[in-house]
Chain A
Amino acid sequence: MSKNNTSTKSKKTPKFAFSNSGSSAISLYRLITIVVFLLFWEWVARSGLVNPLFLAPPSKVVDSIGFLNEQGLLVPNILATLKAAFAGFLIGLLVGSLFGFVIGLNPLLNKFCAPFITMMNSTPRIALAPLFVLWFGIGISSRIVLVFSLVVFIVLTNTIAGTENIDKDHLVLAKLNSAKRRDIIFKVALPSVVPWIIAAMRVSFAYALAGAVVGEMFLGQEGLGYLITAGSGVFNVSLIFAALGMTIAIAFIVDRLMGLLEKRILRWRA
């Protein structure tokens, strides 16, 4: 998933990518691309080429968002989705990194667990949604469990991969200095694994959000996923797009924030 995120590899790419002076130009081109795309979409939707039952123009989507807001349906539903996504995400992050760290640092345990982790990881968790309702009811807890089940394995496998990639030279150096086990854990292993956990964090939030939305579609009375189901029930496409747009906006903002966090925590990288 993010196996390529080792410090040496990701360190080098920016130098060959765009220079700083180019980044403002890139922002401009991005903006132009988005505007052109929206205009094109607006045109297609209004031209009569497509049945308006299937595609709503962006202007109508914006109207829908405004309408939801007037009805007091926008903020509570966004908050409901965020609550399930973040709760599941944080618990998954905590459990996944903790277990991954412990498993990864014990070669025998790692070997023992590997096939089980692969099996659980390859189970389509979204398909378990109905089971989760059965087990945990139709409240928020079943959605949190669904999100958790998605996030925890991404973080777990990444953390284990991180422990397997601890620099052997660092371990030898610590050993030659008669390092105690706790020093090896906290001064060598943990800092080595942090970049892997952060990479997993960024990847898994998208899954967390998707899990929360899908969960609401199946089993919720609230949230952005619920709006999507409601919209499709009454053939209100603009409502569906409004909910999707909100989901994308949340994912984008959270990813940006985590990007800042990553820069801060991994400031030792070039």
Chain B
Amino acid sequence: MQTEIEIRGLSHHFVSPGGKSVSTIEDISLNVAPGEFVAIVGPSGCGKSTILNIVSGLLAVSEGEISIGGKKVQGVSKELVYMPARDSLFPWRTCKKNVELPLELQGILTPAERGERAEMLLNAVGLNGFSDYFPSSLSHGMRQRVAVARTFSTSPRILLMDEPFSALDAQTKIVVQDLFLKIWEEEKQTVLLITHDVMEAVALADRVVVLSARPGKIKSIHNIDLDRPRSVRKLLFDEPKFQKYLHAIWEDLDVQE
């Protein structure tokens, strides 16, 4: 099997203010195939975000190895896009200009083509007519949709997502997740998603990796065998298999009452 993201024997620790070395993750090994959607769930503080920060090149590897497309990760790579929980839209840019930002920074396409692509993506997330609005006049859900459009703007090979929908209310979340799925199922990027929301992990991913409490180790990996294209809304109500996966993963998470 081909590998897009290869994580081998990854451990990380930081020095606490008291001078002690605190281990956040321990011996994580994981292969993600091209076009595969992998979600990592785990209790809070188990080092989920650390993994993503290391894969993205923002944080240096302290132990272990990471390669993307067969090449060792050294610093930030243009092949991947990182989508954080907060939309981090630039308030002084219109929606359209926000979607164009990654293209602009990376020098992709001509200005006119960037504009077209931004319009197209804003339409895809259901924001036609909002191109020239500033983020301050949008709701949280709409802002996050702009962030989804921005995430896809450079047609990256790999998406790294850190709790991307966690700031949204329950209903808006499902709408935005479905919009995201629709675009992703056409483009099929390799995705590494970090979330504490088991439902989100099962609904979106092909595989769900469960981490233990700190220091985070891989506890189990679940293959999610649900048909695509999926709809989060439908899964929630009409899919018995979906519930089964939820149960199994909840068991593994071992959440204390």
On A, residues with C-beta under 8 Å from B are 7, 11, 167, 169-170, 172-180, 183, 187-188, 191, 194, 267-270
Main secondary structure of the interface of B (DSSP, over half): loop
Interface residues of B in 150-201 (CB under 8 A from A): 154
CA distance A191 to B105 in the complex (A): 15
Contact at B136–A269, with CB atoms within 8 Å? yes
Instruction: Give, as a whole number of angstroms, the nearest-CB distance from B163 to chain A.
Output: 13
Q: Is the CB of A170 within 8 A of B90?
A: yes
| Chain A residues whose CB sits within 8 angstroms of the CB of B86 once the complex forms | 169
Q: Which residues in A have their C-beta under 8 angstroms from that of B134?
A: 267-270
Contact among A7, A175, A187, A194 with B76 in the assembled complex (CB-CB below 8 Å): A175
A270 to B133, CA, bound (A): 11
Determine if A177 and B106 form an interchain contact, defined as CB atoms under 8 angstroms apart: yes
Cβ-closest chain B residue relative to A266 = B92
How far, in angstroms, from A269 to B136 measured CA to CA in the complex?
Answer: 6
Residues 73-114 of B contacting A (Cβ, < 8 Å): 76, 78, 81-82, 84, 86, 88, 90-93, 101-102, 104-106
Contact residues in B for A191 (Cβ distance below 8 Å): 90, 92
CB-based contact A169/B136 at 8 Å: no
CB-contact partner of A178 in B58, B91, B105, B137, under 8 A: B105
If A169-B84, A172-B58, A270-B136 touch, whether A179 touches B90 (CB-CB below 8 Å) is: no
State whether A187 touches B105 (Cβ < 8 A). Answer: yes
Which partner residue on chain B sits nearest A270 by CB separation? Answer: B136
Docked CA distance A98–B198 (Å): 50
Judge whether B56 is part of the interface by a CB distance below 8 angstroms: yes
CA distance A209 to B104 in the complex (A): 43
Residues of A within 8 A of B154 (CB): 177
Shortest CB distance A164–B (Å): 18
Distance A34 CA – B91 CA, assembled complex (angstroms): 39
Question: Given the complex, which residues of A lie within 8 Å of B92, measured CB to CB?
Answer: 191, 194, 268
Contact (Cβ within 8 A) A268 B105: no
Contact of A177 among B58, B91, B101 (CB under 8 A): B101
The 4 closest A-B CB pairs, nearest first, are A169-B88, A270-B136, A177-B105, A268-B134
- Selected contact of A176 from candidates B82, B90, B135, B136, CB within 8 Å: B82
Interface residues on B, range: 20 to 34
Additional A-B contacts beyond A170-B88, A178-B78, A268-B134 (18; CB < 8 A): A7-B91, A169-B86, A170-B90, A172-B84, A173-B82, A173-B88, A174-B105, A175-B76, A176-B76, A177-B101, A177-B105, A178-B105, A183-B104, A188-B90, A194-B92, A268-B136, A269-B136, A270-B136
Question: With A172-B84, A176-B81 as given contacts, are A268 and B91 in contact (CB-CB < 8 Å)?
Answer: yes
Expressed in whole angstroms, the minimum distance between the Cβ of A192 and any Cβ of chain B is: 8
- Chain A: minimal CB distance from B210 (Å): 27
For B120-159 the 0/1 string (1 means CB < 8 A from A) is 0000000000000011110000000000000000100000
List chain A residues, Cβ under 8 A from B135. Answer: 268
- Kindly list chain B residues whose C-beta atoms are within 8 Å of the C-beta of A167: 88
CB distance from B69 to the nearest CB of A (A): 16
CA distance A269 to B88 in the complex (A): 15
Complex: chain B residue closest to A172, CB-CB: B58
**Bound: A174/B93 CA distance, A:** 14
Q: Which residue of A lies closest to B136 (CB)?
A: A270
Write out the residue numbers on chain B whose beta carbons fall within 8 Å of the beta carbon of A269.
Answer: 91, 134, 136
* Chain A residues near B136 (CB-CB < 8 A): 11, 268-270
Considering only residues 7-60 of chain B, those with a C-beta below 8 Å from chain A are 56, 58
Residue of B nearest to A171 (CB): B88
Query: Smallest CB–CB gap between A179 and chain B, Å?
Result: 5
Minimum distance in angstroms from B37 CB to a CB of chain A: 20
Chain B nearest Cβ from A238, distance in angstroms: 49
A-B contact pairs, 22 of them (CB 8 A): A11-B136, A167-B88, A169-B86, A174-B105, A175-B58, A176-B56, A176-B58, A176-B82, A177-B78, A177-B105, A177-B106, A177-B154, A178-B76, A180-B105, A187-B101, A191-B90, A268-B92, A268-B134, A268-B136, A269-B134, A269-B136, A270-B134
The listed residue with most B CB atoms (<10 A of its CB), out of A169, A177, A191, is: A177
Identify A183's interface contact among B58, B81, B88, B105, CB under 8 A.
B105
B-chain residues with CB within 8 Å of residue A169 when the two chains form the complex: 84, 86, 88
Q: For residue B137, which residues in chain A have a CB less than 8 angstroms away from its CB? A: 270
| List of B residues within 8 angstroms of A180 by Cβ | 105
- CA A173 – CA B82 in complex, angstroms? 8
Residue of B56, B91, B154 with most partner-chain A CB within 10 A: B91
Please report the C-alpha to C-alpha distance between residue A268 and residue B86 in the assembled complex, in whole angstroms: 19
* Residues on the B chain within 8 Å of A177, using CB: 78, 101-102, 105-106, 154
